[in-house]
Structure 1
Amino acid sequence: MNLTYRTNFLLKMGIPLILFYLYFFQSSSTTTLVAAIIATIHYGAYGIDIHKKGNWPKVNLEHDQRTRSNAHFAGYITCWAMIFLLFIGSVLILNTDIPLTFPNLIAYTILASFVLRWIIRDYLNFLPLAEEG
C-alpha cells in the first residue's frame, strides 16, 4: 500500500515502541533492547532522510518493481547468510566451550539477518539508476 511518507513513518515507528514496551514491561531481554535500539536508529535515519528531501506530504511509492526486486534479492542473500551462520554457530557450540545457548544463537542470528537485510535493501534502493542512451 502506498501511503504518504508521514503516515508510513508513523506506522514504522510503532515497531521500536513495541520493542521498548516488551523490554521494559515483559521480557527484560538484552536482545529485545538491542533490537529496539537498532530499529530506532534505522527509522530515525529514515525520518531524517525524509525531512532533508521535504517529502513529508508526498506519496511514498515504496512498492514499485525496482524496490520489490531489491527487497527480494536482499531476502535471498539474508536467507543463505542465516543458514550459514546457524550451521557454523551450532557446530561451534557443540564442539567448543563457547558460552552461548541455541536460543541465543537463533535470536542473535535473526537480529543480524534483519540488520543485514535492511543494509542490503537500502544500499540497492539508494543506488542511482543506470543512464539509458
Structure 2
Amino acid sequence: MNTTYRTNFLLKMLIPIILFVSYFFISHSTTTLVAAILATLLVISSGIEIHKNNKWNKTNLKHDQRTRANAHFAGYITYWLMLITLFAGAILLMNTDLPLTFPKLIGYTILGSFAVRWLIRDYLNNREKFE
C-alpha cells in the first residue's frame, strides 16, 4: 500500500514502542531490548531522511517492481541463512557445552535474520543512488 511518508513513519514508530513495552512489562529479555534499540535507530534515521528531503506530505512509492524483487531476493537469502544457522547451532548445542539454550538460539537467529534482510534489501535498493 502506497501511503504518505508521514503515515509510514507513524506506523514504523509502533514497532519500537511495542518492543519497549514488551521489554519493560513482559519479558525483560536483552534480545527484546536490542531489537527495540535497533528499531528505534531505524525509525530515527528514516525520520531524518524524510525531513532532510522534505517529503512528509508526499506519497511513498515503495512498492514498485524493483523494490519488491529486491525484498524477495533478500528474504530468500535470509531464509537459507537462517535454516543453515539453526541447523548448525542445534548440532553445536547438542554436541558441546555452550551456555546457550535453544530458545535463545532461535531468538538470536531471528534477530540476526531481520538485520541481514534489512541490510541486503537496503543495499540493493540504494545501490543505484551511489553508482
Structure 1: which 5+ residue stretches go unaligned? none
Question: 1:67 aligned to 2:64?
Answer: no
Secondary structure at the counterpart of residue 80 of structure 1:
helix
- Determine the structure 2 residue equivalent to 1:124: 124
Runs of 4+ in 1 over 3 A off after TM superposition: none
Shift of 1:20: 0.2
Is residue 20 of structure 1 aligned with residue 43 of structure 2? Answer: no
In structure 2, what is the Cα distance between the partners aligned to 1:53 and 1:126?
A: 15
Name the structure with the higher helix share.
Answer: 2
% same residue: 67
Matched ranges for 1:48-127 at <5 A: 48-127=48-127
CA distance in 1, matches of 2:51, 2:123: 19
Aligned equivalents of 2:124 and 2:28: distance in 1? 35
Deviation at 1:29, TM superposition (A): 1.1
Number of aligned residue pairs: 130
Q: Give the SS at the match of 1:127.
A: helix
Distance in 1 (CA, whole Å) between partners of 2:119 and 2:51 is 20
- In 2, distance between residues paired with 1:49 and 1:84? 35
CA RMSD in angstroms comes to: 1.3
Using the TM superposition, give the Cα deviation of residue 17 of structure 1 relative to its aligned residue in structure 2, in angstroms: 0.3
Q: Distance in 1 between matches of 2:120 and 2:48?
A: 19
TM-score normalised by L of structure 1: 0.94
2:77 maps to a residue whose letter is I
Q: Which moved more, 1:65-74 or 1:87-96?
A: 87-96
Q: Which runs of 5+ in 2 are unaligned?
A: none
Q: Encode CA deviations 1:23-79: one digit per residue, 9 max, x unaligned.
A: 111111111111101111112111111112111111000111011000000000000
